Amino acid sequence: MQLKKIQLLNFKNYEGLELSFSEGINGIVGENGSGKTNLLDAIHFLCLSKSGFNFSDSQHIRHGSSFFMIQGFFQKAEKEYEVHCSLQEGKSKTLKVDKKPYTKISEHIGQFPCVLMTPYDTDLIREGSEIRRKFFDNTLSQIDQSYLNNLLKYNKSIEQRNSLLKQFAERNFFDKTLIETYDAQILPLAQSIFEKRNEFVQSFIPLLENYYFFICNQKEKISLKYESDLQVADFESEFCQQIQKDLLLQRTTKGIHKDDYIFQIENRSINKFGSQGQQKSYVIALKLAQFELLSQLKHIKPLLLLDDIFDKLDDSRIKKLMELMASGKFGQVFLTDARPERTKSLFGEIKQEICLFHT
């Protein structure tokens, strides 16, 4: 899969821009603050309908403008596609493929897969369980549309159930029949999502281990463990027995929205006991395993987006990434760097051509 051309209008710092890309490695270079990451983020929008860096879509509208537009022209399996994403202030985001809007924007996820690697990826280790769930949900959602649909339904049902619990507390009453209608929706969705996550982790672990060993040239044992409330024998019974606690806290205290993925090295928390280098190796391995699994299951190579990683990685890890690029492991790559001479030198050493774009 390739992104052949992109057009931007009023997106972040770009009033207007049109670029055609190489099918191989594309370097986006320029001084800090010149818009390198913004261009990378526009590509992420085209692939996944949202920013890879900022939660709010409206913050991507150029200052002084009332809308933004991103247009991309992809080639996938001998066919060309035109992807259009735009947002008008005060209106819903629009996403179209070949001028046809989706019934639901979520239908776009997985059509044009991508993997984003940034200096902030170590947040996967340092931060709470929500960011780890988002990473694995991002991967699963690009692979399996039914998984994404069930996840959206589950999150909506949990939101409604929590709202109901707050109403019970505010009005000092409880309607058992009403809460059970939400439970009847939530429980089968939770079971389906749990099974998909559990199965996915089993496929993901060997790839993670292989890439970790490749990156750091060490034989230390790493592991990934999936933890869920649904791993008990009778989750439905436990879920229903939590109602008094749920009423007290005014939120649903058990379910797959509490799941976590435990990252370990030598059977200990990599957050607490891993060195900075070990943590960086682990998150790079996570992203490369994500790329590998998407490639295998989608039967196309995702776009690989690398944001400012050369400034944050040491020479040994950069060398390993360069080896993978030289091997042809990846398809189309987009990377940002504030030092164009470094980018030219790195790719010159592995005899790979790179197309440079100056912001």
| Ligand-binding site membership of 110 (annotated) | no
Nearest partner of 116 among 61, 67, 161, 51, judged by Cα: 51
SS3 of residue 355 by DSSP? strand
CA distance linking residue 10 with residue 4, whole number of Å: 21
Q: What DSSP assignment string belongs to 61-95?
A: BPTT-SEEEEEEEEEETTEEEEEEEEEETTS--EE
- Cα torsion 96, 101, 105, 106: sign: negative
Q: Which 3-state string (H, E, C) describes 9-37? A: EEECCEEEEEEECCCCEEEEECCCCCCHH
| Ligand-binding site membership of 10 (annotated) | no
| Ligand-binding site membership of 252 (annotated) | no
| Ligand-binding site membership of 37 (annotated) | yes
CA distance linking residue 107 with residue 188, whole number of Å: 22
Q: Which strand (E) or helix (H) includes residue 304?
A: strand 303-307
| Ligand-binding site membership of 177 (annotated) | no
| Ligand-binding site membership of 96 (annotated) | no
Q: Nearest 5 degrees, angle CA 162-CA 260-CA 148? A: 65
Strands 14-20 and 2-11, by their bridges, are: antiparallel
CA distance linking residue 272 with residue 118, whole number of Å: 22
CA distance linking residue 191 with residue 68, whole number of Å: 40
Binding site, annotated residues: 30-37
Binding site, annotated residues for ATP: 30-37
